[in-house]
Structure 1
Amino acid sequence: MTVHILCDFDGTITAEDNIIALMKAFAPSEWHTIKDDVLAQNISIRSGVGQLFELLPSAGRTVYRDYLVERIELRPGFIDFLAEVSQNDWQFDVVSGGMDFFVYPILNGHVDPDHIYCNVADFSAETVRIDWPHACDEQCTNDCGCCKPTIARRIVNPDDRLVVIGDSVTDFEVAKQADFVYARGQLITLCEAEGIRYAPFETFDDITYHLKEVSV
């Protein structure tokens, strides 16, 4: 049986949520209300993320990318974790509600682009617009934007053991499909409320140890 790992990016692989970092640095104050509505599940992820990026002028594209690439920190243990993934022949894909213009540069040299699923930012208009190449299929009505359950149904073999790594409401629906979850932040609360099997983590070393020592 193959272990297939679907891993979130913002706040999971990276120490900080990159969308939130962009909003703090470049967006007007109304981004706070939109963010709170998404986290409270008052509006869909797709709607909220789209509204957030509409607050950013497209002219800042290079500035936004460089700001994140220069300051971002990968969560401790991630590079060693990838080595374990390769050594054990685990399947690994990044499933991110983040944007191509920062996800790909940050993961360059670490994760094959063919195993990265994320949204696409369009800078052709006055403000940033988002394209959604991984929108919900007919089995999902949550308007996820980057629909992680849809991606899982498409790329994970039904016989595989699905492991999900994440930190927030954006990972909740795919966590419901998982055999086991590694959780941080809000995802811990959601897993506990739903009775989903999970282990908390702070670093990827925690996950590596658990995957090697404990049957999930």
Structure 2
Amino acid sequence: MSIQIFCDFDGTITNNDNIVAIMQKFAPPEAETIKQLILSQELSIQEGVGKLFSLLPTSLQDKITAFIKETAVIRSGFIEFVHFLQKNNIKLYIISGGMDFFVYPLLEGLIDFEHIYCNKTNFSNDTIQVNWPHSCDEHCKNKCGLCKSTLIRNLSSQTDFKIVIGDSITDLQAAKLADKVFARDFLITKCIEHHIPYTPFETFHDIQNEVEKLLGVRK
């Protein structure tokens, strides 16, 4: 059985959602309204996240980067999980709606950069602009920004056993394509709503235990 794992970053690999943390720290109050419109799916993820970052002056780049490096915490068990997957030749792709300026530094030395898919940021204007290098294909009409379901279709075959790990609305379309879903937080709510089977998790030790069962690994 060929297993491929597609893992979210914000709120999944990290304990907190870094975009939410950035907005709470640096954005004006209207950011909360935009966030709620994204969660309720009244705004597409692409439009909503673009609006959020456009609220932030580019002059804050260094402060925002320093803030994330100081406050982001990698979820317990993730480093061991990465080593476990490497030992068992299981491919791990990071598919993140997060931004390059904090995703890459936080994963440096852990994940090969060619296995990281995230959004790009442009700091050349007055406010931060988001570029979307991994947009939806013809099978997805959700204006995801970074389209996780498109990436799964491009990176895997129908015969692969696909595992999706995530925590929020941005992981819903990916979860619909998965053979197994590990979910926490708001993704659990959406999985229940859409009748998607899932396994809850708090740490990557939980996930590793379940993947070991799939492989028949004996401790």
TM class by shorter-chain length?
over 0.9
Which residue does the alignment assign to 2:182? Answer: 182
* Alpha carbons 1:44, 1:143 under 8 Å: kept: yes
Which residue does the alignment assign to 2:159? Answer: 159
1:134-156 CA distance string (max 9 Å, x none): 01111110000000001111111
Q: State the shift of 1:214 in Å.
A: 4.4
Structure 1 length-normalised TM = 0.98
Gaps spanning 5+ residues in structure 2: where? Answer: none
Identity of matched residues, %: 48
Structure 2 length-normalised TM = 0.96
Query: Comparing 66-75 with 11-20, which one deviates more in the overlay?
Result: 66-75
* Alpha carbons 1:5, 1:90 under 8 Å: kept: yes
SS of the aligned residue for 2:16 comes to coil
Which residue does the alignment assign to 1:98? Answer: 98
Q: State the shift of 1:196 in Å.
A: 1.5
Q: State the shift of 1:39 in Å.
A: 0.4
Q: State the shift of 1:206 in Å.
A: 0.2
Which residue does the alignment assign to 1:16? Answer: 16
Alpha-carbon separation, structure 2, partners of 1:116 and 1:214: 24
Instruction: Name the amino acid aligned to 2:42.
Output: N
Which residue does the alignment assign to 1:88? Answer: 88
Matches within 5 A, 1:122-161: 122-161=122-161
Alpha-carbon separation, structure 2, partners of 1:182 and 1:100: 24
Alpha-carbon separation, structure 1, partners of 2:38 and 2:190: 14
Matches within 5 A, 1:167-206: 167-206=167-206
Gaps spanning 5+ residues in structure 1: where? Answer: none
SS of the aligned residue for 1:85 comes to helix
Q: State the shift of 1:215 in Å.
A: 6.7
What root-mean-square deviation, in Å, do the aligned CA atoms of Structure 1 and Structure 2 show? 1.1
Which residue does the alignment assign to 2:71? Answer: 71
Alpha-carbon separation, structure 2, partners of 1:110 and 1:71: 18
Alpha-carbon separation, structure 2, partners of 1:85 and 1:44: 33
Q: State the shift of 1:71 in Å.
A: 1.6
Alpha-carbon separation, structure 2, partners of 1:168 and 1:20: 12
SS of the aligned residue for 1:176 comes to helix
